[in-house]
Chains A and B, each alone.
Chain A
């Protein structure tokens, strides 16, 4: 069964008109274990989204096999999605981003594509002066 109906697809297509640079959605899955079903759902959702713009591509990796890639991305859970624009901006999703998180996935794709965060000049100045790494985890539930 598809995640997105025709109305969802049209809405996302409209939002994707803002895309500029190509974005790669790097998906980490596992074919065995308790998360296998969720990983398949996640892959399907990501493929449905990527089909809505020719600026989007998908790469499916296996957390157990592609360990070096997972380590390089700092990914240690599945299902996971890395949203990579002109460079890796550090955008990660753990879990199937359906429901509430779906809008955030679309927003992440757009901001990774434009490279232009919607933040005040003061915030951008403070962030560009950071001397240490910042890891922000945001826990939510499926909508």
Chain B
């Protein structure tokens, strides 16, 4: 979550939402959350667990590319 938050502050284009999975079962089902942390970027790119900064950034850029 920390990386997502800092990316939000670094760019006006980026928004980060921390979601307590157990309090939002419908959202968790919709995004097929079975393990946490689960990260979903632009509803397209997703992964579980923490990633180093460079790989997290690569996932963000991939999501933008796929959304274009």
Contacts of B14 in A (CB 8 A): 90, 127, 130, 133-134, 136
Which residues of chain A in 92-112 are interfacial with respect to chain B, using CB atoms and an 8 Å cutoff? 92-97, 101, 104-105, 107-108, 111-112
A115, CB-defined interface residue at 8 Å:
yes
Q: How far is the CB of A127 from chain B (nearest CB, A)?
A: 4
CB distance from B10 to the nearest CB of A (A): 4
Please, how many residues of chain B have a CB less than 8 angstroms from a CB on the other chain?
45
Known A-B contacts A89-B9, A95-B23; the reply to A134 vs B64 at CB < 8 A is yes
B8→A89 contact, CB < 8 A: yes
Instruction: Give bound CA distance, A130 to B28, whole Å.
Output: 28
21 A-B residue pairings within 8 Å (CB atoms): A90-B14, A92-B17, A94-B19, A95-B19, A107-B5, A112-B9, A117-B9, A120-B54, A123-B54, A127-B13, A128-B11, A132-B13, A134-B42, A135-B43, A136-B4, A136-B39, A138-B18, A139-B21, A139-B27, A140-B18, A141-B21
Q: Which B residues lie at the A interface, using CB under 8 A?
A: 1-24, 27-28, 31, 33, 36-43, 53-54, 57, 60-61, 63-64, 67-68
Residue positions of A touching B, CB distance < 8 A:
35, 38, 74, 77, 79, 85, 89-97, 101, 104-105, 107-108, 111-112, 115-120, 122-124, 126-128, 130-142
